Chain A
């Protein structure tokens, strides 16, 4: 591999990361009238090139656009129906999709959410400098907001914040499943949500209406467009590999020269306690997700009585699409085809969008605020897997947490550890917030595992979801640590090979940008050398005296995943092929068997997310083949899987 130059290495230096301070926006809500707040004068700064238009005019613009016109003609020819009929169809799609942003609804939400937020959360902390940057960005260029997605709360929260700070309200791409909730769906629509079907693969007309609708809103600077790069809520609190469809659409107007630039603003929303905590764990264990319904929402009212700690929302540095594309994309490739004719994006564009998406997700990850509890989750899970039945003494737990605190800070984690409070108090207050997950008796702490198998599963997966919040901090060093562990010698090249294999294996599991193996390796080496864990010379990688503890910790970070993938492999090796539907239940049964016999230590392997990722990785690597037929069969090549070192 080719080493990266030292200049590039500077980017990795976590100490160089500068972050803004937070302000609690709920504080003012607690001290002044919510009603007056909801009725306040709202005059946001708008895009400088905006020609104001109404919701209905927007729809007209879409229906009359050359882009849609072209597809309508095409579809009408293919289906042999009149173009009027197709236009009618398009209008219906648009009707189903379109938002109807209304200030009065927003004010209603502002009022109710104030009440709700005040009961649920201790504070909602915002970096106000980020909002100032956002305001500037909205004035100068069309803006796309890209929040992380951990909870249903996310988009209500986003609009709530923007309303509070007098910023332009966004239009939000939402999944069609919300439409199921009749009243709420319509209300969301009136607060700026537009609804898209989850899958519309081959439907040309739908795609045309949808992409044109988004582009027109964006180009005209009608409102910031907001969507979730991850596509859906992450049940595990790890960032999901980004979905590219919408990003492709919003970058298109820039690439085709229809706007001068577009600002992409990554937003990191971190919850101290996710509202859906228990729901997610249940879902991962295979208890199906309840369908969204209004009555379901009311049932969820009981959560109102609990304490969910604080939320941190960090508005990141706006990323200019123009600067992303500079010396990457040759925009003149769009010169030879009229721009209203839809074309499949070239390989070059696809890889550009993909890389940009990874960059943006990483930008989200980097500004996620981590609470002390996240570090405690690391320790507690590791102890649990080590089968320490009596639990951990509070002192020991505190010591380990402090050690982890220092380590994670060195790796650039955005840790909110109150340094003015003694560590023991920090630990005990964290434990009390999550008292549902831990049991403290006689000064010893352990996870609240009761009898049976499924219930501990809930607790462990909930706990793992907190630990996962910090995985992005450790993932590269952890891959390196595991690579050192598995490599046959300490030769640098060999360790790199092993690193590269592991990284490739886990690229469905973690945010690891395809093609950036060398950079990731350099970054990991840089961090471990800087923190005195390793010494690296031209040829060899040496572990220092005090490096063993760090390495042991880092290896244990990746261990559950390694073991999980191994179990999935072992399971597949014993199969002669099975359908996609059968896979999850069958593998789950297999894992439970292994857990009960004690051959597998990590209960978290029960997570269907991990199982799916493992399968996807094995398919990607060619160890498992997907045969298309009447029933989707997986043809396993066991020898191959074994050969690959699992």
Chain B
């Protein structure tokens, strides 16, 4: 087809798109095909950093002067699996593997560690888990569509949905991709090619009004809706209840990813809830702002998901957790839309209805738009790290920092096992000088200062703000650390510590290739119980592994990740050379020792059975009655929480 036609078509399509109420303009023509007098064109409508691509396919009569639309279908390149793994964490191009020489390597270009050789990892893995590179358990490479149950479709719903023009799909891959989060058992099943109940249909609303329409239709036709944001849940929240007999529709918010406005006077931004963390941050940065909300999953998790699970960000000490950041929420429920009538910074209007929404885990409705606080981007950032002779001293230091309320943007304390793990992840050093310097540091700490390499632990720090204040703040924190035997251990160690946060999730996939499975979980607790819980939970993991007949002792490690006035958040990791049901016991141990059910991961279905114990029967009744009022027919039927 001649190029001017193409140009013409593009113009036509622009018009069409506005007719279709797509707010973004098409910016790329992907494919044009002609068959006789019919032609079909594909237009790329939008693309976010995860390349979740929206394409519209339009069939037209091209030979007429006024092209007439025959059909208009969205082709959904929402196949995240093209850039993201369908049975593992993160981007397809980024993964750990052992190269031909048997050295560990991290592929891709996205991270600081990407493309590097990690010489220590193999030895660490072999010694920690007694894993053997000879024994591999590769994952099922591609999804076997025939293993997926055919969709149970609600024809009446489908018919009306089609008339709204909201894109949807019942393709097996699309459905499977939205049927899970990232719990160990979920990923494990996928690797083995086992697929349980999956959504029957996926819909991609483009804006708040689309959601209103979908929810109305779902109520009308009694269809179960499960909202889907970034898919990073670790609480089985996205699992389809196997007992659900109605058609299950996964409502993917990924297309609602625009910043609708920025209010620089009040420092707020009004954002659609489907936006992914890194996009939100990047787009705000372009205007010189940030939200400062950086959960470890921010590359993939969405704003709506944060609100629905009461998320917590790494830099909450400066910017606050999600409940502190949110000014206004719009949510579509089966009863209608809920939102407050003003955006006052604080109100005394009875119990705050936002708190019914935050943590509702998709049981009450879909969050569509959120007004969030924003801040000017920090002038200066500095990483740091401190080595402590032992974990007890480290915790005491963090407590003191919290007491003096001088916590930097982030302060985290890794235990000895995690310190060693971080050490194993050091990339190959390029110069002899650096390796000499490392040796010297090690000598200074272990020999000169007398730290026991099997007991010492490291705190990583991140300071933010204007330069002068950062430096002043840094000195204050290091002075406190010194009182607890802490030695400053450099910016580089600190930065690597934070990088690890993003990379550690990829490592689980490598472990699973070699019969090593792992899981993480978090809790929060009062200060006086931090040491006891860390010790007891780690001991419980080791004991349960032993009792369950796990041959080799597991890696059982923890990290204090947040400090509060009255307590702290602790993150546990465990991994071992095959398998058992350790998670249940660990949570039991946490609760028995005065820890919380969850600090920020949420309850989902994974931790449901402890809810009553956690919030009392009356509390359960309150939540239940809200659910009964808002969603009497259980349209939002993911059965999380209650």
Q: A residues touching B (Cβ–Cβ < 8 Å)?
A: 257-261, 330-332, 334-335, 338-340
B50 within 8 A of A: no
- B592 interface residue (CB < 8 Å to A): yes
* Minimal Cβ-Cβ distance residue in A for B539: A260
Secondary structure call for the A interface: loop
Q: Which residue of B lies closest to A66 (CB)?
A: B528
A338 neighbours in B (Cβ, 8 Å): 526, 528
Given contact pairs A338-B528, A339-B528, A257 touches B591 in the complex (Cβ within 8 A): no
Task: Please tell me if the beta carbons of B539 and A332 are within 8 angstroms of each other in the complex.
Answer: no
Beta-carbon contact of A260 and B536 below 8 Å: yes
Complex Cα distance, B218 from A272, in Å, reads: 84
Whether the pair A332, B535 counts as a contact (CB closer than 8 A) is no
- A258 and B532: CB pair below 8 A? yes
Distance in angstroms between the alpha carbons of A335 and B593 in the assembled complex: 7
Name B390's closest neighbour in chain A (CB-CB).
Answer: A51
Residues of A within 8 A of B526 (CB): 338
Please, how many angstroms separate the alpha-carbon atoms of A338 and B529 in the complex?
Answer: 9
Contact between B593 and A331 (Cβ–Cβ < 8 Å)? yes
Q: B520-555 CB contact bits vs A (8 Å, 1 = yes)?
A: 000000101100110110011000000000000000
Q: Is the CB of B540 within 8 A of A332?
A: no
User: Given A331-B593, A332-B591: A257 and B528 within 8 A (CB)?
Assistant: no
B466 lies within 8 A of chain A by Cβ: no
B546 to chain A, nearest CB (A): 11
Q: Number of B residues contacting the other chain (C-beta, 8 Å)?
A: 14
Q: Could you write out 10 A-B pairs with CB less than 8 Å apart?
A: A257-B533, A257-B594, A260-B535, A260-B536, A261-B539, A330-B592, A332-B591, A332-B592, A332-B594, A340-B528
Minimum C-beta distance from A219 to chain B (A): 10
Q: Nearest A residue to B593 by beta-carbon distance? A: A257
A338 CA to B535 CA in the complex, in Å? 19
- Is B613 in the interface zone, CB < 8 Å from A? yes
Contacts of A261 in B (CB 8 A): 539
Residues of A within 8 A of B536 (CB): 257, 259-260
Given contacts A331-B592, A331-B593, A332-B591, is CB(A257)–CB(B613) below 8 Å?
Answer: no
Residue of chain B at shortest CB distance from A141: B539
Q: Which residue of B lies closest to A334 (CB)?
A: B594
Query: Contacts of A330 on B, CB cut-off 8 Å?
Result: 592
Measured between alpha carbons, how far is A261 from B547 in the docked complex, in Å? 15
Q: Which residues of A contact B593 (CB under 8 A)?
A: 257, 331, 335
A93 to chain B, nearest CB (A): 25
What are the residues of chain A within 8 A of B529 when measuring CB–CB?
257, 339
- Bound CA span A260–B536, Å: 5
A588 vs B43: C-alpha distance in the bound complex, in angstroms? 109
Q: Is A260's CB under 8 angstroms from B540's CB? A: yes
A259 cross-chain contacts in B, Cβ below 8 A: 536
**Complex formed: what's the CA distance from A565 to B169 in Å?**
86
Given A330-B592, A338-B526, 16 more pairs with CB closer than 8 A? A257-B529, A257-B533, A257-B593, A257-B594, A258-B532, A260-B535, A331-B592, A331-B593, A332-B591, A332-B594, A332-B613, A334-B594, A335-B593, A335-B594, A339-B528, A340-B528
Q: How far does the alpha carbon of A48 sit from the alpha carbon of B295 in the complex, in Å?
A: 37
- Which residues of chain A come closer than 8 Å to B594, judged between CB atoms? 257, 332, 334-335
Contact code string B610-633 (vs A, CB < 8 Å = 1, else 0): 000100000000000000000000
Closest to B392 in A: A51
9 residue pairs, one from A and one from B, having the closest CB atoms: A257-B593, A331-B592, A335-B594, A260-B539, A257-B532, A260-B536, A332-B591, A258-B532, A332-B592
Chain A minimum-CB-distance residue to B529: A257
Which of A257, A258, A331, A338 has the largest number of chain B CB atoms within 10 A? A257
Distance (whole angstroms) from the CB of A123 to the closest CB of chain B: 38
**Distance in angstroms between the alpha carbons of A517 and B291 in the assembled complex:** 66
On chain B, the residues within 8 Å of A260 by CB distance are 535-536, 539-540
Q: How far is the CB of B607 from chain A (nearest CB, A)?
A: 14
Least distance between B621 CB and chain A CB atoms (Å)? 20
Q: Chain A contacts of B592 at CB under 8 A?
A: 257, 330-332
A325 to B, closest residue via Cβ: B592
Q: Determine the residue in chain A with the shortest Cβ distance to B596.
A: A335
With a cutoff of 8 Å between Cβ atoms, the chain B residues found around residue A334 in the complex are 594
Closest beta carbon of chain A to B9's beta carbon, Å: 66
Tell me the bound Cα distance from A260 to B531 in angstroms. 11
In Å, the complex CA distance between A334 and B532 comes to: 13
For B532, what are the chain A residues with a Cβ–Cβ distance below 8 Å? 257-258
Q: Which residue, of A258, A260, A334, has the highest number of chain B Cβ atoms within 10 A?
A: A260
Q: What distance in Å separates the Cβ of B598 from its nearest Cβ neighbour in chain A?
A: 15
Q: Give the docked Cα–Cα distance between A108 and B594 (Å).
A: 47
Shortest CB distance B391–A (Å): 12
User: Which chain A residue lies CB-closest to B535?
Assistant: A260
**Minimum CB distance partner of B614 in chain A:** A332
> Which residues of chain A come closer than 8 Å to B540, judged between CB atoms?
260
Bound-state CA distance A542–B285 (Å) is 91
Distance in angstroms between the alpha carbons of A260 and B593 in the assembled complex: 10
A residues in contact with B533, CB < 8 Å: 257
How distant is B496 from chain A, measured CB to nearest CB, in Å? 30
Of chain A, the residue at the smallest CB distance from B595 is A335
- Closest beta carbon of chain B to A54's beta carbon, Å: 19
Residues of B within 8 A of A332 (CB): 591-592, 594, 613
Task: Give Cα A339–Cα B591 distance, bound, in whole angstroms.
Answer: 15
Closest to B591 in A: A332
Q: Mark B554-596, 1 if CB is under 8 A from A, else 0.
A: 0000000000000000000000000000000000000111100
- The answer for the CA separation of A348 and B70 in the assembled complex, in Å, is 75
CB-defined contacts of B591 to chain A, threshold 8 Å:
332
How far does the Cβ of B36 sit from chain A's closest Cβ, in whole Å?
74
Interface string of B412-427 (1 = CB under 8 A from A): 0000000000000000
> Nearest residue in A to B531 (C-beta to C-beta)?
A258
Q: Which residues of A contact B535 (CB under 8 A)?
A: 260
In the bound assembly, the distance between CA atoms of A479 and B585 in angstroms comes to 42
* Cβ distance A326 to chain B, nearest Cβ, rounded Å: 10
| A323 → B minimal CB distance (Å) | 11
A367 to chain B, nearest CB (A): 26
- B489-533 Cβ-contact flags toward A at 8 Å (1 or 0): 000000000000000000000000000000000000010110011
Q: How far is the CB of A310 from chain B (nearest CB, A)?
A: 39
Q: State the CA gap A334–B594 with chains docked (Å).
A: 7
Per the bound structure, the CA–CA distance linking A445 and B309 in Å amounts to 85
CA distance A339 to B529 in the complex (A): 9
Which residue of chain B lies nearest to A336 when distances are taken between CB atoms in the complex? B594
CB distance from A125 to the nearest CB of B (A): 33
CA distance A331 to B592 in the complex (A): 5
Which A residue's beta carbon lies closest to that of B542?
A260
Binary A-proximity of B594-612 (CB < 8 A = 1, otherwise 0):
1000000000000000000
Alpha-carbon distance between A340 and B528 when the two chains are bound, in angstroms: 10
Cα A330 to Cα B613 in complex, Å, equals 11
A335–B536 CA distance with the chains assembled, in angstroms = 15
Give residues of chain B (70-111) contacting chain A, Cβ–Cβ below 8 Å: none
**Could you say which of A261, A330, A332, A340 has the most chain B C-beta atoms within 10 Å of its C-beta?**
A332
Chain B residue contacts of A331, Cβ below 8 A: 592-593
Residues on B with C-beta less than 8 A from A258 are 532
The distance in angstroms between the C-alpha atoms of A561 and B528, with both chains bound, is 53
Closest to B613 in A: A332
Instruction: Give the distance to chain A from B542, nearest Cβ to Cβ, in Å.
Output: 9
Within the complex, the shortest CB–CB distance from A53 to chain B, in Å, comes to 14
- Closest CB in chain B relative to A108 CB, distance in Å: 36
With A and B bound together, what is the CA distance between A91 and B593 in angstroms?
31
- For the complex, give the distance between the alpha carbons of A331 and B540 in Å: 15
Q: How far is the CA of A565 from the CA of B445 in the complex (A)?
A: 74
CB distance from A188 to the nearest CB of B (A): 34
Question: Which single residue of chain B is at the shortest CB-CB distance from A329?
Answer: B592
* Alpha-carbon distance between A338 and B527 when the two chains are bound, in angstroms: 10
Q: How far is the CA of A257 from the CA of B526 in the complex (A)?
A: 13
Q: Give bound CA distance, A332 to B594, whole Å.
A: 6
Determine the distance from Cα of A258 to Cα of B529 in the docked complex, in whole angstroms. 8
Chain A, Cβ-Cβ closest to B533: A257
Most interface-central of B526, B539, B591 (chain A CB within 10 A):
B539
B628 to chain A minimum Cβ distance, whole angstroms, is 28
A257 CB contacts on chain B under 8 angstroms: 529, 532-533, 536, 592-594
